Chain A
């Protein structure tokens, strides 16, 4: 899968706010029985993202393509997110790459890579 293939998915997510993205992420990574309201879903998603942080950092930070996009793309959140999604997807099949990528870019890759 390439960055292009994530373009459409990212575009559909890029305007969602962080809370909505976290709820979506929880729906994607946490399946189970029992009631989960939005607050709990966001807590689960944040916990899951925290637990993946090191793997994501290793996969994304320092990647030449990402660095180039960060320097050149003036309004390229979609392009950058799609490229990040491609790297996220390379980590494992179990990651919801587009949602994770948009969340990372929304938070700022400096935050992840610093």
Chain B
């Protein structure tokens, strides 16, 4: 089986029809317009993006995700060939912004296509990150006597509710939890990516095992096929992790990482199912699938892992400091894109740490965050939070006045998140005036090569895609003089070409 990145009529038509059909009813999608505008307004201080320009930016960002998925699929396919030899035919993998909360494999003409819904991508990456953040890494002592813990299901529900607001914050396409130290970021990225690779391996398994062939249509039912694909994926993932470690990891480390990634993948899917009460799903229960997948490749299937992948993940490292496990560091370092280039100084990290942990949504009053913002001595005119931020601050005070354990409606989460991210973006956007003012507010006539130089030199590698997507929108639609100048400098075309250059933006 070979990965194909070529466009074919069959794949293009299928994707277009799926997107059209699945997005016909928009009523169940989390509202995101306000948050998107907040992102555009705050992250780059460029003013809100016109609604009619947003699709262009989304397309650009989706290209980045597609490159990522294709790169991950390539890596999985290498392990597939080592495990089971694979099969004939071409394989396409595409992100799909829909309401599926699922990944699918389907025949498309003579080829097969794997469709990964944005929720699967986003939730998996974000939940891995939040779990890592909430548990902290062994090398980062917890500020509390007992480490803060977030149940996976809670993390998923919160992320799901926030999906609209995180979409353009970068968490959709890549993680932006700025409070995590680099080691934790690496682990979160690795955990999320491996969980996604398990999902991709599962889909590849359906194809490699012939489940899409006509002969299987009257064969074993859905449960048997799913469990067969799960076991296949577990074997492939374990092989991939072993290969990546270059023979330097202990077997229990490889098993622990494999098991954790599988548990995150199943945990996210199961939590989404239970959260949104999806009916008619014919997949086996997640715990059964997890057990079967683990047993299929000789792994223990600790049931608690489904609910606590973060704890299990670190427990299986036997409590060693991450820096003391060379094999794991090796895995991280060999994985392009798991580095987070932007260093944060101690004061900045401390300020952000106080607000970026998940419990900060509840327990750090937004008025306090406003104080943090004010303490940064921004120009007076810049401290002008949107009304929803102030409303969220008031709501946060009410929540903090209670015991903090009551149910919170999704719209409250969204507003809280919007406020939080607005502030984070302001903090980040204004931390380095030399860069932000001189570069992101260019003088008329700024050429694309100036932006490119800034992106290459200063922009975190994992955030380039979304930055460029935002620039694309700005340059295309920006009413300000700078936007006109950039448009005249042919920035949109240059950005499109840049985004099309897959190797530079793969991760």
Q: Is A106 an interface residue (CB 8 A)?
A: no
| Secondary structure class of chain A's binding surface, majority of residues | helix
Quick one: given A43-B21, A93-B214, A95-B214, are A32 and B280 in contact (CB under 8 Å)?
no
Question: Which residues of A are found within 8 Å of B106, using beta-carbon distances?
Answer: 29-31, 44, 48
**Nearest Cβ on chain A to B211's Cβ, whole angstroms:** 5
Quick one: given A31-B212, A97-B214, are A40 and B99 in contact (CB under 8 Å)?
yes
Question: Which residues of B are found within 8 Å of A74, using beta-carbon distances?
Answer: none
Q: Is A68 an interface residue (CB 8 A)?
A: no
Quick one: given A27-B222, A46-B21, are A33 and B103 in contact (CB under 8 Å)?
yes
Q: From residue 3 to 47 of chain B, which have CB atoms closer than 8 A to chain A? A: 10, 13-14, 17-18, 20-22, 24
**Nearest Cβ on chain B to A13's Cβ, whole angstroms:** 12
Q: Is B440 an interface residue (CB 8 A)?
A: no
Quick one: given A37-B280, A92-B110, are A31 and B225 in contact (CB under 8 Å)?
yes
Q: From residue 39 to 79 of chain A, which have CB atoms closer than 8 A to chain B? A: 40-41, 43-44, 46-48, 50-51, 55
Question: Which residues of B are found within 8 Å of A50, using beta-carbon distances?
Answer: 13, 17
Question: Which residues of B are found within 8 Å of A41, using beta-carbon distances?
Answer: 280
Q: Is A35 an interface residue (CB 8 A)?
A: yes
Q: Is A36 an interface residue (CB 8 A)?
A: yes
Quick one: given A43-B24, A48-B106, A50-B13, are A37 and B199 in contact (CB under 8 Å)?
no
| B14 and A34 within 8 A (CB) | no
Q: From residue 475 to 497 of chain B, which have CB atoms closer than 8 A to chain A? A: none
The segment out of B246-254, B265-273, B419-427, B453-461 that lies at the interface is B265-273
Q: Is A89 an interface residue (CB 8 A)?
A: yes
| B13 and A51 within 8 A (CB) | yes
Q: From residue 95 to 138 of chain B, which have CB atoms closer than 8 A to chain A? A: 99-110, 112, 115, 117, 120
Q: Max chain A CB contacts within 10 Å: which of B99, B104, B120, B283?
A: B104
Distance of A38 Cα from B232 Cα, bound (Å): 27
| A46 and B17 within 8 A (CB) | yes
Q: Is B281 an interface residue (CB 8 A)?
A: yes
Quick one: given A33-B202, A48-B106, are A94 and B21 in contact (CB under 8 Å)?
no
Question: Which residues of B are found within 8 Å of A4, using beta-carbon distances?
Answer: none
| B278 and A47 within 8 A (CB) | no
Distance of A6 Cα from B325 Cα, bound (Å): 60
Distance of A46 Cα from B22 Cα, bound (Å): 10
| A34 and B269 within 8 A (CB) | yes
Size range of the chain A interface in the assembly: 20 to 34
Question: Which residues of A are found within 8 Å of B105, using beta-carbon distances?
Answer: 30-32
| B17 and A48 within 8 A (CB) | yes
| A31 and B104 within 8 A (CB) | yes
Question: Which residues of B are found within 8 Å of A95, using beta-carbon distances?
Answer: 107, 214
**Nearest Cβ on chain A to B16's Cβ, whole angstroms:** 8
Nearest B residue to A50 by beta-carbon distance? B17
Quick one: given A34-B103, A95-B214, A96-B217, are A48 and B269 in contact (CB under 8 Å)?
no
Chain A proximity mask over B42-86: 1 for CB below 8 Å, otherwise 0:
000000000000000000000000000000000000000000000
Size range of the chain B interface in the assembly: 35 or more
Nearest A residue to B22 by beta-carbon distance? A43
Question: Which residues of A are found within 8 Å of B203, using beta-carbon distances?
Answer: 31-33
Q: Max chain B CB contacts within 10 Å: which of A29, A32, A38, A92?
A: A32
**Nearest Cβ on chain B to A55's Cβ, whole angstroms:** 7
**Nearest Cβ on chain B to A23's Cβ, whole angstroms:** 8
Distance of A36 Cα from B14 Cα, bound (Å): 18
| B108 and A51 within 8 A (CB) | yes
| B283 and A33 within 8 A (CB) | yes
**Nearest Cβ on chain B to A16's Cβ, whole angstroms:** 15
Q: Is B403 an interface residue (CB 8 A)?
A: no
Q: Give the contacting residue for B22; candidates A34, A38, A40; CB below 8 A.
A: A40
| A35 and B272 within 8 A (CB) | yes
Q: Max chain B CB contacts within 10 Å: which of A30, A34, A43?
A: A34
| B280 and A94 within 8 A (CB) | no
Q: Max chain A CB contacts within 10 Å: which of B18, B215, B217, B281?
A: B217
| A51 and B269 within 8 A (CB) | no
Q: From residue 205 to 243 of chain B, which have CB atoms closer than 8 A to chain A? A: 206, 211-215, 217-218, 222, 225-226, 229
| B272 and A34 within 8 A (CB) | yes
Distance of A50 Cα from B9 Cα, bound (Å): 12
Q: Give the contacting residue for A51; candidates B17, B265, B280; CB below 8 A.
A: B17
| B102 and A93 within 8 A (CB) | no
16 contacts between A and B (CB under 8 A): A28-B217, A31-B206, A31-B212, A32-B202, A33-B269, A34-B102, A36-B281, A36-B282, A44-B21, A44-B104, A47-B20, A51-B17, A51-B108, A92-B109, A93-B213, A96-B217
| Closest 7 pairs between A and B when the two form their complex, measured CB to CB | A34-B102, A47-B17, A35-B278, A94-B107, A32-B104, A51-B14, A35-B281
Query: Given A94-B107, A96-B217, 11 more contacts at CB 8 Å?
Result: A29-B106, A31-B225, A32-B103, A33-B265, A34-B100, A35-B281, A37-B278, A37-B280, A40-B100, A47-B21, A48-B106
**Could you list which residues of chain B lie within 8 angstroms of chain A, going by C-beta atoms?**
10, 13-14, 17-18, 20-22, 24, 99-110, 112, 115, 117, 120, 199, 202-203, 206, 211-215, 217-218, 222, 225-226, 229, 265, 269, 272-273, 276, 278-283
